[in-house]
Amino acid sequence: FQMDRTPESFLDLFPLDAIVYLTPDSENVLEDIDPDKVYVLGGLVDETIHKRLTLRRAREQSLQTARLPIREYMVKAPNSRNYHSETLAINQVFDILSTYYETRSWPVALRAGVSSGKGYVLPEAAEQ
């Protein structure tokens, strides 16, 4: 994957209609990766303080948003803390997207990138 570092904002580098801001708060499900789009991965550390911040930022810029299809392919696993979160670290989102791009399989990609500590598992894992 090609990566560049620049002090410029992605808003200045790409047309707004080509940008898709990935946020777990979006109503839109990412169904496929479009090679003509630019996907922005957020970078918030504390998910409890900044709820919906990435969605608000995207809306302020009139950007398209999408979320990973965690709810569509995974189920909530019973756990002692009753903890379930769709907020992932940047490296996890990148791993999911790159695995999906290679395999074209959301279950394979989500299995590779969503740790069990997030409280979600694939349905077959929940049955075991």
User: Which residues belong to the active site?
Assistant: 46
| Residue 118 near residue 85 (C-beta atoms within 8 A) | yes
Q: Which residues contact 59 (CB under 8 A, 6 or more apart)?
A: 65
Give 75's DSSP letter: E
| Residue 92 near residue 115 (C-beta atoms within 8 A) | yes
3-state secondary structure 79-118: CCCCCCCCCCCHHHHHHHHHHHHHHCCHHHHHHHHCCHHH
